[in-house]
Amino acid sequence: MKPLLLRLEPVIWLLFGAGIMLGTILLPGYLLTMGLGVPLGVLPAEALSYERLHGMLSHPIGGLVFRLVALALIALPLWKAAHHLRSLSVDFDGHDRDGLVGGVLYLIALAGSVLGILAVIRL
């Protein structure tokens, strides 16, 4: 597995870099509304009503942007997570298991990304 990971390193680094940059830039907005603002009643519940969100999805440009942002919010944090958790494993004496740990973590990120694409297509 380790030689394969080394060959895929440029792709993995691209996705990791996008994850740490774009994922970090996009996540606070999601967390402040969907995760905290609306559940705590700071923002109106109607803002996240099913009808309003589906109205946004049906807009020709807005719907595409909404889907792309949703996909970025799903996939990019997973790639950032996979690479950083692999690095954490190596830091704690994980050189010998690096191929297995890295392979499993990147497979989780890949599976999540594919499911994310399916999730935004079926919206």
Residue 27 beta carbon to another protein: minimum distance, rounded to whole angstroms = 5
Q: 59 Cβ partners below 8 Å, 6+ apart?
A: none
31 near another protein, rule: CB under 8 A? yes
Q: Choose which of 15, 77, 101, 102 interacts with another protein (CB under 8 A).
A: 77
Among residues 122, 14, 29, the alpha carbon closest in space to that of 75 is found at: 14
Q: Which two tokens stand for residue 6?
A: 């080394």
Among residues 87, 103, 84, 78, the alpha carbon closest in space to that of 7 is found at: 103
* 10-29 positions binding another protein, by CB under 8 A: 19-21, 23-29
d(CA 86, CA 62): 36
Q: Choose which of 12, 81, 101, 106 interacts with another protein (CB under 8 A).
A: 81
Interacting residue ranges for another protein, rule: CB under 8 A: 19-21, 23-40, 43-48, 50, 52-53, 56, 62, 69-70, 73-78, 80-85, 87-88, 91, 93, 95, 108, 112, 115-116, 119-120, 122-123
